[in-house]
Amino acid sequence: MISSAFVYFFLLATIATSFNFIEKNTNLKFFNYVPAVVIIYAFSMLLAGLGVFERNEEILKIYSNTKTNLLPAMLFLMLLQIDFRHFVKLGRSLLISYVLAVLSIAFGFVVVALIFSFDTKSASAFGALAGSWMGGTANMVAVGSALDVPDEAFGYALIVDSVNYTFWVMLMLFIVPFAKVFNKFTASNDVVASLHEIGCACNLGAKKYWLLIIIALVASTVAQVLATQFMIINTTTTVIILATLFGVIGSFTKLRELNGTSEVATTMLYIIVALIGSQAIFENFSGVGVYVFAGFVILLIHALIMVIGAKIFKLDLFSIAVASLSNIGGVASAPILAAAYNKSLVSVGVLMAIMGYLIGTFGGLAVGTLLQSLAK
């Protein structure tokens, strides 16, 4: 049994970096269906369940302090990648599709919460899931922390995210050949040909990891200090909101041009997920099936609204599909779907997915707070 805080943290960091390295440097198709972040969580949770980590004061303290400091730093770096100038160039069809995707996902969560009569734990877990399906795993962690989601419930949400996300990616790729049929049904113009000039917020030049880490930790510290003076709802929520705003402000400055933000932010995210997994001990998995089914109902509601919206606003299949997957799948899959339509459109998928880093936190918090108010 590990009782040293240093060994505990070192082991979790090793787990996080190892699976990240394997995913990035191998061509294993396994990771197309089960992302590294899920494996990291599951492996850390397995070690916790086997009693590898002693739940002493020293370990709980490093768990709390690391998570508290890395979370706002990670959000800050994620948001530095946003380039609003390129986003507004996407055009009417993609912008309407993106807004429609966000609203339909939010609506789906509310409907499902009413149908399944969520209790407080389920409501908070699905609030975290809403953060992921409007942004990404980073937003799920942020919203989960703000809503004080129990580690076990967070694990359920992560499982639902992985299972339903895999199904959704396959479905979105499957319908690509039917674009002409769908566009005829909605009487829309194919916007693919007009999007080749759209760029992405790509970073060039040398990777400045240490500079990014220092800047991110400074932003985290400032957010935590200000949160004690200007509290919104609770301290954690205030810190998350402030870090998000700092990231958005930074995206309008030269900080956006610093290369390496994605790698540093992803490393922070994986360490946070490993930490959460190390404190999650499942008594049973009896509720997972219901959670997964509820997730599929949300996707069904989302799909119906997207199709109806496409008919009303005359949107093409590429626009609604990429908008949907940029929310539910994020940066990992939206570019792949965009490339399936045309390889030159990868940057469009990246750009729309990166916007989720901003929308996901605020959208997830709004949905999560509403779900908690409806909980029985």
Q: Of the segments 134-138, 170-174, 182-186, 187-191, which one has the largest average pLDDT value?
A: 182-186
Describe the crossing of helices 36-49 and 261-278 by its angle, rounded to 10 degrees: 30
Task: Read off φ and ψ for residue 119, nearest 5 degrees.
Answer: -90, 180
Tally Cβ neighbours within 10 Å of residue 260: 18
Give 78's contacts (C-beta < 8 A, 6+ positions apart): 138, 247, 261, 265, 357
- pLDDT number for residue 201: 47
pLDDT in tens, 12-32: 999 998 988 888 888 777 776
- pLDDT number for residue 205: 58
Higher pLDDT, 164 or 198: 164
DSSP SS3 for 211: helix
Query: Quick one: CA dihedral 90, 95, 96, 101, positive or negative?
Result: positive
For residue 16, what are its two tokens?
Answer: 């996080």
- pLDDT number for residue 220: 93
Is residue 97 a contact partner of residue 320, using CB atoms and an 8 Å limit?
yes
For residue 225, what are its two tokens?
Answer: 């200090």
Higher pLDDT, 65 or 336: 65
DSSP string, 18-69: HHHHHHHHS--THHHHS-HHHHHHHHHHHHHHTT-B---HHHHHHHHHHHHH
pLDDT in tens, 136-153: 888 888 888 888 888 777
C-alpha 366/C-alpha 360 separation (Å) is: 10
Is residue 159 a contact partner of residue 292, using CB atoms and an 8 Å limit?
yes
- What share of the chain in percent tops pLDDT 70? 91
Is residue 108 a contact partner of residue 133, using CB atoms and an 8 Å limit?
no
DSSP SS3 for 233: coil
Single-letter amino acid code for the residue at 176: V
Mean pLDDT of 102-121: 92
pLDDT exceeds cutoff 70 at 165: yes
Mean pLDDT of 148-170: 82
Average pLDDT, whole number, for the chain? 84
pLDDT in tens, 309-365: 999 999 989 899 999 998 998 777 787 788 788 766 777 777 788 888 888 888 999
C-alpha 83/C-alpha 87 separation (Å) is: 7
Cα angle, residue 143 at apex, residues 88 and 356 outer, rounded to 5°? 20
User: Taking the domains of the chain in order of start, what are their residue ranges?
Assistant: 5-374
Single-letter amino acid code for the residue at 160: V
- Count of all residues that appear for the chain in the document: 376
**Cα–chain-centroid distance for residue 101?**
15
pLDDT exceeds cutoff 60 at 101: yes
- Least confident among 161-170, 246-255, 346-355: 346-355
pLDDT in tens, 215-234: 999 999 999 999 888 777 67
Mean pLDDT of 201-224: 81
C-alpha 317/C-alpha 188 separation (Å) is: 9
Mean pLDDT of 269-282: 80
pLDDT exceeds cutoff 80 at 95: yes
- pLDDT number for residue 12: 92
C-alpha 199/C-alpha 193 separation (Å) is: 14
- pLDDT number for residue 111: 95
**Whole-model pTM?**
0.78
C-alpha 100/C-alpha 248 separation (Å) is: 22
C-alpha 367/C-alpha 107 separation (Å) is: 9
